[in-house]
Amino acid sequence: MNDLAASIRTIPDYPKPGILFRDITTLLGDARAFRRAVDELVQPWAGTKVDKVAGVEARGFILGGAVAHQLSAGFVPVRKKGKLPHVTVSIAYSLEYGLDEMEMHEDAVAANERVILVDDLIATGGTAEGAVKLLRKLGADVVAACFVIDLPDLGGSRKLQALGVPVRSLIAFEGH
């Protein structure tokens, strides 16, 4: 996975001093790295029944759409409040830098559908935890959460595991 880590740009002091922002746009722009990341995210579930892949706005849309395609699953966008045109369900959640609200269409998943959550990075886990709770509110069986990057010192993966959601991350960056 070292070559994947090398394809990720680190931007110091963004969005505020002391933060090392892990930018995956460089990975997405590298066809080989992008393909490898998607293949690695898909690998544990290849050949199993996955009904939907939920992607968190916005980089989770890119990765989640590719994962859904590879798994022959539907794709569910999890968006910031006010971005979806049909009847929605919403949940408030904690961000690394504050509070926000996310939503999805109320008919995006059916009861007991097997869903994998995908995003680019897990840090404190607030966004992913909110997405899991939102999916479960609609009756989904969240079988896993997948990320390209984990910042393990911030504890997000442990939050999801405490909810009974297995976590797959391709790269861990110690510290943040």
Q: Which residues, in sequence order, are CB contacts of 73 under 8 Å at separation 6+?
A: 50, 51, 52, 53, 67, 116
- Does the active-site annotation cover 79? no
Q: In a 3-state reduction of DSSP, which class is residue 115?
A: strand
Catalytic residue (one of 22, 59, 79, 168): 59
Q: Which amino acid is at 143?
A: V
- Does the active-site annotation cover 96? yes
Length of the chain: 176
Q: Which residues, in sequence order, are CB contacts of 162 under 8 Å at separation 6+?
A: none
Using CA atoms in the order 58, 59, 61, 63, what is the torsion angle rounded to 10 degrees?
180
Work out the number of other CB atoms within 10 angstroms of the CB of residue 92.
12
Catalytic residue (one of 96, 106, 114, 136): 96
Residues annotated as part of the active site:
59, 96
